[in-house]
Structure 1
Amino acid sequence: MIAKLKLNNKKIDLATKKVGLALSGGGYRAAFFHLGVLARLAELDILKHINVISTVSGGSIIGALYYLKLKERLSQEQPMQHSDYINLIMNLEGDFVRGVSKNIRSKIFLHPLNELYSVFINREKILGNLYAKYFRYSNVSMAQLKGTSGAENLPKLIINATLLGNGGHYFFSDENMGQYIDPKIVNSKGIIHYSEHNQIFLKDAVAASSAVPGLFNYVNFKVGTEKHKVVDGGAFDNLGIYALQKEVCDLMIISDGSRQISEQQLIPRKRLSVLKRSYDASLELNKKLMLETSENFFHIHLREGHPQVDPEVSDALSRLRTDLNNFNKFESWSLSNYGYLLTDGISQYLNTPNSETGEFVFKNTDNTVLMQLPNRKFKNKLWSGEKINTAGSNSILQTLNQLKLFLATFLVFFLIPIYFVFFAASGIIPGNNPVVNSYIIFVMYLIGFMSIYLMIVSSSGDLVHYLDYGLSKLSHFILSVIYIFLILATILLILSLIIVGVVKII
């Protein structure tokens, strides 16, 4: 942890300061890291002193969930105690892990119904709906977020994004939205009150904050006669510091789940790979500028080292993917535990009471030992998590993502020949059976059409960018229908083959 302080106190009394907490971007990797940071802050009884929470992208996913849980608890009559904050984060851990296990990325890009649905509704809207469903955001609007009961004790929540129109910072808070007045930003939209526009929902604000360019389009918000096109907050400030500066916080606690860009010799000659690398370079520059212009902060960075963590493990954690897919227990526990360990260093600067201990799942004893003394299996689990996120990787998951096929559908093409070989070799299905031959021919046609479809899609990427928007939507609709038909036909084919096999056995 890095401390940059210009306060005179030897031990900082948080009760006399306006304290801001920044949760950086970085997908689920950052979110799991933030979970560990929140856990240790709860144990040190620091969370009750947080006045402003500023979130970006992955930080917005877990930050919004924490805010809702805190709001629910503060609405009760009993005042919150030290142990209540710890129990709240323990409950947050369970709900967040369950939400992550739903594998939102696959549901957005691989689910055939969502493929069809995205013809009429943007994927960014689908992303918001999935956040609401799996992270229990419900359909609460930003105007309703603060409520009345216990609102005076709630910190201010700021969800950060970037406005494409002028390239400036854009935010959604529990009080208002828009842009802070800043002479450096051209045509700033200023502060917009929800009384003028009350149809902004929490799920859509989080979706806008995490709409990474290249994977998602912008999220469109209609404000009066204008349309504000908003994308990932990391494009402007991936740390969430800018909002805390504008809120004039005396002290900032920055949880940084991003990774420092490192030299990369092998960069695949692919548009997405080049785009991602360029985007990472921009994030790194913005991050350095934000930190250089800030003072009085604690910077808890995923890229730091810790004496209780093997250097190879800490390096692997910083390289884990930022995708919205499922994380195995080694990845999630290690990320959270690492954030937890790094946050402990903050206690030497603050006037805090004796800490209490929470029974967090990520503090699993065996996993903690493996972080310090990793075995081969543990290393492979972490290193494979990096490969899934590496451009040009030959991992099965990336291949499936490129082909847009369900795992079940993908396996079908391997199970069919195995099925025939097994039953034919056993003499159950005669080789000259016309029914079986017709099935084989049908399968060949299916594979042939699928190959042609994939070839056209992969080779016409440049052309698609120049097609009329309406024509693109129409072709998307037709291809989605064909895709669903192929899946259903394959399922029926398998069922038919099973029936034929059973009949032959009988």
Structure 2
Amino acid sequence: MSVEGIGLALSGGGFRAGLFHLGALWRLNELGWLQRIDDITSVSGGSITSAHLGLQWSKLHFDSQGVATNFQQVVVTPLREFYSHTIDTTTILTGMLNPFISAGEKLDHAYAKRLFGKATLQNLPDPEPGVPRFTFYATNLQTGASVRMSRAYLGDYRIGRIEQPTIRLSSVVAASSAFPPFYCPFEIEVDPEAWKKWDEGGDFFKPLANQKKLYLGDGGIYDNMGMERLWNRRQTILISDAGAPMKVFEREGEVAENYAGTMSRVLDIMTEQTRALRKRMFVSALKSNEKQGTYWGIATRIADYALTENHHAPPLLSDNAKTARLAQVRTRLDEFKPEEQEDLINWGYALTDAAMRRYVIAPVVPAGSLPCPNHLV
């Protein structure tokens, strides 16, 4: 398999991630890079923004420089409206109190009502030059493997693939963001006759390919940065990471002694270690020139890109107490006020600008302008 082209990975992290990535996509569009990307992969909160971008792709008007001139109208405005509503409280409470519907099903309904309607994976664009492939990650709770969902196929390397799946986009995003314990497992119905075995792998094809349901969880359980497909297929990789580093408990008594608190902490540690290992592998590949690209994260210090020291225009923002706090913003699926939205959009935009100018594009490219100029971080 030849490894070439450009991939973009959008991490998980609830509505916080969706807004941070919106700022990143905003800057990539201005740089003329959206049309250059061959693959966009996403997890959890990142899948909300990515799925909306994919669904609206055909409406974007690209100029001769590869810039979508109506990006704000088609992509930004509907997403900002969506992120101004709380959907986790009602979906979780209904799932707990109503024995006839799960919280995951209610989440699916909320996504359909507010953003995706009846669209399916087949409503995403067909990949071609200038049009990326959109892939959404969930985790199969039966096999422990990553499940990839795209227009071309739904696949689990331990089972097989279903080609041209017609799963509703709201269900795909609900599965990708089915964070335990409330939304997990999220059930997706499949046709057992549709499974095809991979040329390699598929060690559980026989026992699992005859089942009518997949039991899925948040894609971040397996890979919260969603970079696995890109690692195997793309030479240049851009990673937008809205996952916060795990909080260190500095005081005695902060570690919970109840079962729920302990399990939550254990899950945080496991997620952090998986994320750290993947990030370390990626940075090592960049340093050795095995891969090209760059990484920006919500907890990144923008000064670390050393723009002025390397003859670039200075960064759009400076590190301060407010930018540091953004990494600790909640990862819930609840209402984000306009000020919160603009902070996250500006920070994602500024970090993307710094990372791209430092490591990917020519030094002569000027810095951008913050998309929310009336509200600076």
TM-score tier by shorter-chain length is: 0.7 to 0.9
- Structure 1 outlier segments of 4+, above 6 Å: none
Conserved? CA contact 1:161–1:208, under 8 Å? yes
Q: Which 5+ residue runs of structure 1 have no aligned equivalent?
A: 1-15, 181-187, 372-506
- Counterpart-to-counterpart distance in 2, 1:80 and 1:273: 52
- Counterpart-to-counterpart distance in 2, 1:267 and 1:364: 41
- Counterpart-to-counterpart distance in 1, 2:73 and 2:124: 22
Q: Using the TM superposition, give the Cα deviation of residue 108 of structure 1 relative to its aligned residue in structure 2, in angstroms.
A: 1.3
- Counterpart-to-counterpart distance in 1, 2:173 and 2:64: 29
Q: Using the TM superposition, give the Cα deviation of residue 162 of structure 1 relative to its aligned residue in structure 2, in angstroms.
A: 0.5
Distance 1:355 1:190, change over 3 A: farther
Residue equivalent to 2:16: 29
Residue equivalent to 1:221: 188
- Counterpart-to-counterpart distance in 2, 1:141 and 1:298: 32
- Counterpart-to-counterpart distance in 2, 1:42 and 1:355: 14
Please say if 1:190 is aligned against 2:169: no
Distance 1:82 1:89, change over 3 A: farther
Conserved? CA contact 2:17–2:45, under 8 Å? yes
Residue equivalent to 2:343: 334
Q: Using the TM superposition, give the Cα deviation of residue 110 of structure 1 relative to its aligned residue in structure 2, in angstroms.
A: 4.8
- Counterpart-to-counterpart distance in 2, 1:305 and 1:89: 27
Q: In the TM superposition, what whole-angstrom CA distance separates every residue of 1:190-246 from its partner, at most 9, and x where no partner exists?
A: 22213xxx4411110100000001121212223313122110000000001112123
Letter in 1 for 2:9: A
Please say if 1:306 is aligned against 2:302: yes
Query: What's the TM-score once normalised by structure 2's chain length?
Result: 0.80
Query: What's the TM-score once normalised by structure 1's chain length?
Result: 0.61
Distance 1:80 1:275, change over 3 A: farther
1:291 corresponds to which of 279, 297, 303: 279
Please say if 1:168 is aligned against 2:145: yes
User: Counterpart of 2:35 in 1: which secondary structure?
Assistant: helix
- Counterpart-to-counterpart distance in 1, 2:184 and 2:5: 36
Superposed, 1:404-419 pairs within 5 Å as none
Conserved? CA contact 2:104–2:183, under 8 Å? yes
- Counterpart-to-counterpart distance in 2, 1:90 and 1:271: 47
Q: Using the TM superposition, give the Cα deviation of residue 153 of structure 1 relative to its aligned residue in structure 2, in angstroms.
A: 3.5
Residue equivalent to 1:235: 221
- Counterpart-to-counterpart distance in 1, 2:124 and 2:247: 40
1:99 corresponds to which of 53, 57, 82: 82
- Counterpart-to-counterpart distance in 1, 2:259 and 2:269: 15
Residue equivalent to 1:109: 92
- Give the share of equivalent positions with the same residue, in percent: 28
User: Counterpart of 1:236 in 2: which secondary structure?
Assistant: helix
User: Counterpart of 1:191 in 2: which secondary structure?
Assistant: strand
Conserved? CA contact 2:187–2:214, under 8 Å? yes
- Counterpart-to-counterpart distance in 2, 1:355 and 1:53: 25
User: Counterpart of 2:277 in 1: which secondary structure?
Assistant: helix
Conserved? CA contact 2:37–2:132, under 8 Å? yes
Conserved? CA contact 2:294–2:360, under 8 Å? no
Conserved? CA contact 1:162–1:236, under 8 Å? yes
Q: Which 5+ residue runs of structure 2 have no aligned equivalent?
A: 193-209, 286-290, 304-316
Please say if 1:200 is aligned against 2:167: yes
2:373 corresponds to which of 360, 364, 376: 364
Please say if 1:275 is aligned against 2:263: yes
Residue equivalent to 1:389: none
- Counterpart-to-counterpart distance in 2, 1:100 and 1:312: 24
Letter in 1 for 2:189: K
- Counterpart-to-counterpart distance in 2, 1:28 and 1:160: 17
Q: Using the TM superposition, give the Cα deviation of residue 349 of structure 1 relative to its aligned residue in structure 2, in angstroms.
A: 3.2
2:68 corresponds to which of 64, 80, 85: 85
Letter in 2 for 1:200: I
Instruction: Say which structure is richer in helix.
Output: 1
The number of residues matched between the two structures is 330
Residue equivalent to 1:178: 155
Letter in 2 for 1:51: D
Residue equivalent to 2:231: 245
Q: Using the TM superposition, give the Cα deviation of residue 351 of structure 1 relative to its aligned residue in structure 2, in angstroms.
A: 4.1
Residue equivalent to 1:38: 25
- Counterpart-to-counterpart distance in 2, 1:305 and 1:354: 21
Residue equivalent to 2:331: 322
Q: Using the TM superposition, give the Cα deviation of residue 119 of structure 1 relative to its aligned residue in structure 2, in angstroms.
A: 2.7
Cα RMSD after superposing both structures: 2.5
- Counterpart-to-counterpart distance in 1, 2:77 and 2:161: 36
The 10-residue stretch of structure 1 (315-324 or 303-312) with the greater mean CA deviation from structure 2: 303-312
Q: Using the TM superposition, give the Cα deviation of residue 328 of structure 1 relative to its aligned residue in structure 2, in angstroms.
A: 1.8
User: Counterpart of 1:300 in 2: which secondary structure?
Assistant: strand
Residue equivalent to 1:143: 122
Q: In the TM superposition, what whole-angstrom CA distance separates every residue of 1:298-353 from its partner, at most 9, and x where no partner exists?
A: 11011112353343212211001000000122321111111111111212333468
Q: Using the TM superposition, give the Cα deviation of residue 65 of structure 1 relative to its aligned residue in structure 2, in angstroms.
A: 0.6
When Rg is computed on C-alpha atoms for both structures, the one with the higher figure is: 1
1:119 corresponds to which of 95, 99, 106: 99
Conserved? CA contact 2:349–2:370, under 8 Å? no
Conserved? CA contact 1:139–1:202, under 8 Å? yes
Conserved? CA contact 1:87–1:358, under 8 Å? no
Conserved? CA contact 2:302–2:318, under 8 Å? yes
